[in-house]
Structure 1
Amino acid sequence: MPAFSQATPQERCRFWLLLLIALVILGAGIGLRDPWPSDEPRFTLAAKQMVESGDWLFPHRGSELYADKPPMLMWLQAASFELVRNWRLAFMLPSLLAGLGTLLLVYDLGRRLWNRRTGLYAAGGLLLAFQFVYQSQRAQIDPLVLFFITAANWGLLRHLLAPPDTGATANWPMFWLGCFCAGLGVITKGVGFIALFMLLPYAWAAWRGWDGVARPGRGAWWRWLLGLGAVLAAIALWLVPMLLTAHARADMPAYPAYVHDILFRQTAHRYANAWHHIHAWWYYLPIVLFSWLPLSLTYAGSVPRWWQRLREHDARVLLPLCWVVLVLLFFSASPGKRDVYVLPALPMLALATAPFLDELLPRRWLRVMGLVFIAVLGAAMLGLGLWALHSHSPKVAQFVARRDLADGGAALWWMCVVLGVVQLALVATLRVRRALWVVCGGMAALWLAWGYWAVPLLNDSSSSAGLMREVRSHLAPGDQLGLVAWKEQNLLMLDQPAVDFGFKVPWHLQFARATQWQAQAPATRWLFVQQTAMGDCVDRAQAIYLGHANQRDWWMFKAGAVVPGCVPSAAVDELPDDDADAGAVAAPEAPAPVDP
């Protein structure tokens, strides 16, 4: 790595200012909302059950094992709760810290490979990218796996890139650390190994004698193998105790099923024979163009400069840029695609772009594009707000009804108006000359308005907090509640013991078992049921309609509302509507529920 001088006071000030801005933007809304579907409630519910049960090795979703993802995020959420004792803060802390950590790693790579200014550009470009902030403000696995893959890239690049004019040599401890982080990525979401793709462009550059690549020397083969050992050691932290415990519980069918599902069905089988989110091979092209705005505005200027550096055999550009291409090709080859799959490529793209921003930012064409981008965004927000306030459109009324917004959603629409006015005011006052600040200010306004204005307004309907508060209001002391055709947010936001009859169990079987359970104590046992799952087996006149939440209608009732001898047909069953549901593990024949 090139040597770099001591930071000046101005450089230190810029770094800390960037970090403060990142904390404010990525932390916008934390503590003001509960987990939102589809993924956040299931991960938080599993973490909550870990804390309450003491079983941290096998995540549960209610009474069933949950095998869609390894438990890394759930462990960190549970650990965060043990520290702060507040789930509204704890469930978001891993994503916030992962986002900040990713920015720091990209900054450090930029300053080591080029200089501190380039490091700031790399981190700043990443912070501006829409997809990065959007995902970092969500309690999903993707921000965490992004951090571990970026940490792996950080370690690998510190080893693989060692310009000869500095006298630097291969940094084997950094290589092993990078491999270990790749292993942590594997036990976070399974795809952490993609960080090791960085070795492919390195091998080509070393073979072609490019400048800037480390020379490991002869007899280093065993050091490379230690990297594989580091990957396996990280995976073993979870895999070994999980397999040993599952073997000890082999007499319970759910545990062997869990092992098979998480090690085979959710990995290679899922990649090669995806059963959801099927898209064409070019699916990621719009993601690269639009979800990575406004960083993607620099493509037109970056591409010829990348080509020039590659012709000059600059490995600092080759390695991260080729790695981005390999990641895009890898995920494009699978029939199942989601936008978040390629998120790990974004930090390396920002790194490869950063060295040229000093030259690109003064260019008028780029400043005009940035100005137009914020102007279009501001005009769209202003137009949406004014239209919703004054149009009396049925679509607006339907949205307001689904979200149960007060005053026709006026507060939300005024937020759009204010946001649009702020963004357009930035465009009008700062203009082309200060277009960079227009883009920065416009994006900051967007995220602050979303986190501190929109999120509190939408929380009750998005999280089911309002729905489950209504459920609790109908329960007297000593009453029990059974859940049928439920979603994770229902059990999580109920915030008191409940009985479930499985999650992956077909709805008509859940209903039959639930009514049998209810009949054992009809005076004190209620059922909470999704409307579709009731069929014609419930007298609506004797049931309580709770309202519409999460695009579903919900009811609760006692035994008197159940039509005697009626069981809904299998036609009411609904297949899981999200990919995580496909990973739940249920025993073939769920046992009768145990009273809490």
Structure 2
Amino acid sequence: MRRRYMDFTRFRRAPVPWGLLILATIALGAGLGLRDPSPPDEPRFALAAKQMVESGQWLLPQRGSELYAHKPPMFMWLQAAAYSLVGNWRVAFLLPSLLAALGTLWLTWDLARRLWSQRVAGYAGFALLATLQFGLQAKRGQIDMVLVFWTTLSLWGIGRYLLSDRDRRALLVGAFAAGIGTVTKGVGFLPLLILLPWWYSQRAGGAGITSDASASTRRTWVWLPAAFLAGVAVWLLPMLVAVLGSDDPALHRYASEILFKQTGTRYVDAWHHVRPAWYYLQVIATLWLPGALLLPWLVPAWWRRIRRGDTKILSLVGWALVVLVFFSASPGKREVYLFPALPAVCIAAAPLLSGLLRRAGVRRVLLGYVAVLGVVLTGIGVSGALDAQWSARIALDRSLDAATMQTLLAWLLALGTALLVLAVWTRPSKAAAAAVCANLLVWTVYGAALAPALDASSSARQLMHDVRGRIGSEAELGLVAWREQHLLQAEGPVREFGFERDFQAQWRDGVAWMAGAPDRRWLFALEEVAVDCVDPAQLIALDRSSRRDWVLVPGTAYVPGCVVPMTDGASP
């Protein structure tokens, strides 16, 4: 008994995985502060966070003059808090994702360490770091990396209790984290569903876990929903107090939208991102590279362990399958929805990787992945250099100048060449290290070189700077049918007429506003909307943004006495 206690103490005092975290910080943090938010989602959250800081109203996020009811404000709170700390939006909008990624890596490593050993934990951490989707989300200013931190923290706490050391405090931390995750994005409760495969394993007589039906354990389970609700209440409670204490119909519409339409209705009857049932198999086969290439070996090995009664593998893999089925059942699907399952899959794979990576076939597959990635990137770089028309079409569509396009092609060529050299010169025994290095190199170059080169056009910063240069520093600018990046990057006096309103209604209000002071007011509008009551000869064509064409309308283009007709049509 004493020996077990001493071993357990040494186990708990294992060092922090500094090598893993340092490499992750270098690759995932490369380029931090070198770019602005870019579509599709980054400008939306950064704009809401910026408005929180400027207005001092943090409880209910806004998009321009409207309440933003599509997501709870937790992620925007983190961005606003990061800005309050560092004072730079280019850093602040990405900092929560970077810190969440590092936290997720540590949680993945630590749970694998507690379930198996420190050596296995290293495999789990590097498997996650090497996966394409993990790096992609860590370098985006979107909710999903922060969500995955909360779901992984929840899995860490619940997994410790169910599968490792029966730590009741960890279980309650896990339940509380699931609640916080739920008010970060509605699916944050998913880690609680690990109870389903765990319960099945107990009924089936799973090996390796000691059952405990004591009174103290029963009390712990009673506190589980209370801990979850406490996490949810961090935002939900003050929001409901504010809504129920107000007669403002906008607040009541906000509560109805976020609590019902953006959760249950969106899951059952999605109105966009509709995909077939097998969509997530495609996501696994691409965004979970290079790990997805090992599934032909991993799946049979998992099945053998499950048949032998391995509760740990059954619970982790079973939970990942529950998540897969849960999201596949909804008609609305996006690649990020499945992301919370990735750390659990890496943890479940970790105890098998040591043996798999000694196989010649596995090594060839991983080196082949590095080589194919190098060939693809090199091919793009060479094709762009040789086919001027192809590169010109890409540059025109993204509003890139020739110099920027050449810079991008040069970096892609250099990166592809480096990966080919890595694939050729790496010994087969180091194939796994080569695959990890390849993805770290990709994210380093992307963050430090590729994303900054695309920034001026992708973020609409250059477009809105040019607009202000055309109209002058004292002119007033109205936005019609705008996107979030346009308001975020707009300079000087700006007015908007709603975001989710019908475009024709926005145009009608915008024209009326412009007609009030035509000598100093201009409209920035989607080209297809700027039709009624203006002289088309005076419209100024602008560069493309968000793959659409935009125009600048001077106040002098207004046709005196004209009134834009009202329509019942939806926004295009």
For the aligned pair, the TM-score class normalised by the smaller chain equals over 0.9
**Matched residue of 2:528: which SS?**
helix
**Matched residue of 1:557: which SS?**
strand
Partner of 1:439: 435
CA deviations 1:381-405 (Å, max 9, x no partner) are 1111111111123x42121112232
Question: In structure 2, how many angstroms separate the alpha carbons of the residues matched to 1:209 and 1:231?
Answer: 28
The answer to whether structure 1 residue 545 and structure 2 residue 558 are counterparts is no
The answer to whether structure 1 residue 340 and structure 2 residue 336 are counterparts is yes
Contact 1:463–1:489 (CA under 8 A) maintained in structure 2: yes
Structure 2 counterpart of 1:133, from 132, 135, 138: 135
Partner of 1:78: 80
Structure 2 counterpart of 1:512, from 489, 495, 508: 508
Question: In structure 2, how many angstroms separate the alpha carbons of the residues matched to 1:418 and 1:477?
Answer: 42
Partner of 2:243: 246
The answer to whether structure 1 residue 152 and structure 2 residue 149 are counterparts is no
The answer to whether structure 1 residue 423 and structure 2 residue 419 are counterparts is yes
Question: In structure 2, how many angstroms separate the alpha carbons of the residues matched to 1:95 and 1:400?
Answer: 29
Structure 2 counterpart of 1:375, from 371, 384, 395: 371
Q: 1:151: Cα distance to partner?
A: 0.4
The answer to whether structure 1 residue 556 and structure 2 residue 548 are counterparts is no
Partner of 1:585: none
The answer to whether structure 1 residue 232 and structure 2 residue 229 are counterparts is yes
Question: In structure 1, how many angstroms separate the alpha carbons of the residues matched to 2:345 and 2:283?
Answer: 13
Structure 1 counterpart of 2:20, from 18, 21, 29: 18
Question: In structure 1, how many angstroms separate the alpha carbons of the residues matched to 2:515 and 2:144?
Answer: 44
Question: In structure 1, how many angstroms separate the alpha carbons of the residues matched to 2:77 and 2:464?
Answer: 26
Partner of 2:275: 279
Structure 2 counterpart of 1:402, from 397, 404, 407: 397
Q: Larger deviation: 431-440 or 259-268?
A: 431-440
Contact 1:152–1:182 (CA under 8 A) maintained in structure 2: yes
Partner of 1:199: 195
Q: 1:477: Cα distance to partner?
A: 4.2
Q: 1:249: Cα distance to partner?
A: 2.3
Question: In structure 2, how many angstroms separate the alpha carbons of the residues matched to 1:571 and 1:125?
Answer: 53
Contact 2:28–2:447 (CA under 8 A) maintained in structure 1: no
Written as runs of structure 1 = structure 2, the 5 A alignment for 1:52-63 is 52-63=54-65
Q: 1:374: Cα distance to partner?
A: 1.1
Contact 1:535–1:572 (CA under 8 A) maintained in structure 2: no
CA deviations 1:328-382 (Å, max 9, x no partner) are 0110111111111000000000000000111111111011001111111111111
Partner of 1:39: 41
Written as runs of structure 1 = structure 2, the 5 A alignment for 1:314-329 is 314-329=310-325
CA deviations 1:559-593 (Å, max 9, x no partner) are 21123415377599634xxxxxxxxxxxxxxxxxx
**Matched residue of 1:346: which SS?**
helix
What amino acid sits opposite 2:153 in the alignment? A
Contact 1:367–1:435 (CA under 8 A) maintained in structure 2: yes
Written as runs of structure 1 = structure 2, the 5 A alignment for 1:181-200 is 181-200=177-196
**Matched residue of 1:535: which SS?**
coil
Question: In structure 2, how many angstroms separate the alpha carbons of the residues matched to 1:452 and 1:87?
Answer: 17
Contact 1:511–1:568 (CA under 8 A) maintained in structure 2: no
**Matched residue of 1:343: which SS?**
helix
Q: TM-score, normalised by structure 1?
A: 0.91
Question: In structure 1, how many angstroms separate the alpha carbons of the residues matched to 2:514 and 2:454?
Answer: 34
Question: In structure 1, how many angstroms separate the alpha carbons of the residues matched to 2:8 and 2:168?
Answer: 21
Structure 2 counterpart of 1:180, from 176, 182, 185: 176
The answer to whether structure 1 residue 96 and structure 2 residue 102 are counterparts is no
What amino acid sits opposite 1:398 in the alignment? R
Contact 2:465–2:491 (CA under 8 A) maintained in structure 1: no
Partner of 1:594: none
What amino acid sits opposite 1:462 in the alignment? S
Structure 1 counterpart of 2:351, from 349, 355, 359: 355
Question: In structure 1, how many angstroms separate the alpha carbons of the residues matched to 2:276 and 2:528?
Answer: 33
Q: 1:200: Cα distance to partner?
A: 0.9
What amino acid sits opposite 1:514 in the alignment? G
Written as runs of structure 1 = structure 2, the 5 A alignment for 1:3-14 is 3=7, 6=10
Contact 1:44–1:74 (CA under 8 A) maintained in structure 2: yes
Question: In structure 2, how many angstroms separate the alpha carbons of the residues matched to 1:158 and 1:7?
Answer: 14
Superposition CA RMSD, Å: 2.1
CA deviations 1:168-222 (Å, max 9, x no partner) are 5x32111111000000010000101111011111212223332233433243433
What amino acid sits opposite 2:65 in the alignment? S
Q: From the superposition, tell whether residues 357 and 546 of structure 1 become closer, same or farther in structure 2 (CA, over 3 Å).
A: same
Runs of 5+ in structure 2 lacking a partner? none
What amino acid sits opposite 2:110 in the alignment? D
Contact 1:4–1:112 (CA under 8 A) maintained in structure 2: no
Question: In structure 2, how many angstroms separate the alpha carbons of the residues matched to 1:496 and 1:216?
Answer: 65
Question: In structure 1, how many angstroms separate the alpha carbons of the residues matched to 2:454 and 2:480?
Answer: 25
What amino acid sits opposite 1:563 in the alignment? V
Question: In structure 1, how many angstroms separate the alpha carbons of the residues matched to 2:550 and 2:284?
Answer: 39
Q: 1:445: Cα distance to partner?
A: 1.9
Partner of 1:527: 523
Q: 1:321: Cα distance to partner?
A: 0.8
Question: In structure 2, how many angstroms separate the alpha carbons of the residues matched to 1:570 and 1:441?
Answer: 56
Question: In structure 2, how many angstroms separate the alpha carbons of the residues matched to 1:152 and 1:97?
Answer: 17
Written as runs of structure 1 = structure 2, the 5 A alignment for 1:557-576 is 557-564=553-560, 565=562, 567=564, 570=567, 574-575=571-572
Partner of 2:264: 268
Question: In structure 1, how many angstroms separate the alpha carbons of the residues matched to 2:64 and 2:332?
Answer: 28
Where do 4+ consecutive residues of structure 1 move more than 4 Å?
Answer: 1-9, 568-573
* Percent identity of equivalent pairs: 43
What amino acid sits opposite 1:335 in the alignment? P
Contact 1:405–1:457 (CA under 8 A) maintained in structure 2: no
**Matched residue of 1:533: which SS?**
coil
Question: In structure 2, how many angstroms separate the alpha carbons of the residues matched to 1:537 and 1:134?
Answer: 45
Question: In structure 1, how many angstroms separate the alpha carbons of the residues matched to 2:451 and 2:84?
Answer: 25
Question: In structure 2, how many angstroms separate the alpha carbons of the residues matched to 1:156 and 1:218?
Answer: 18
What amino acid sits opposite 2:394 in the alignment? F
Question: In structure 1, how many angstroms separate the alpha carbons of the residues matched to 2:423 and 2:58?
Answer: 51
The answer to whether structure 1 residue 491 and structure 2 residue 487 are counterparts is yes
Partner of 1:106: 108
Contact 1:131–1:343 (CA under 8 A) maintained in structure 2: yes
Question: In structure 1, how many angstroms separate the alpha carbons of the residues matched to 2:240 and 2:331?
Answer: 30
What amino acid sits opposite 2:438 in the alignment? G
Contact 2:519–2:556 (CA under 8 A) maintained in structure 1: no
Partner of 2:218: 221
Question: In structure 2, how many angstroms separate the alpha carbons of the residues matched to 1:343 and 1:537?
Answer: 48
Question: In structure 2, how many angstroms separate the alpha carbons of the residues matched to 1:396 and 1:407?
Answer: 9
Contact 2:366–2:435 (CA under 8 A) maintained in structure 1: yes
**Matched residue of 1:209: which SS?**
coil
What amino acid sits opposite 1:119 in the alignment? A
Question: In structure 1, how many angstroms separate the alpha carbons of the residues matched to 2:484 and 2:455?
Answer: 15
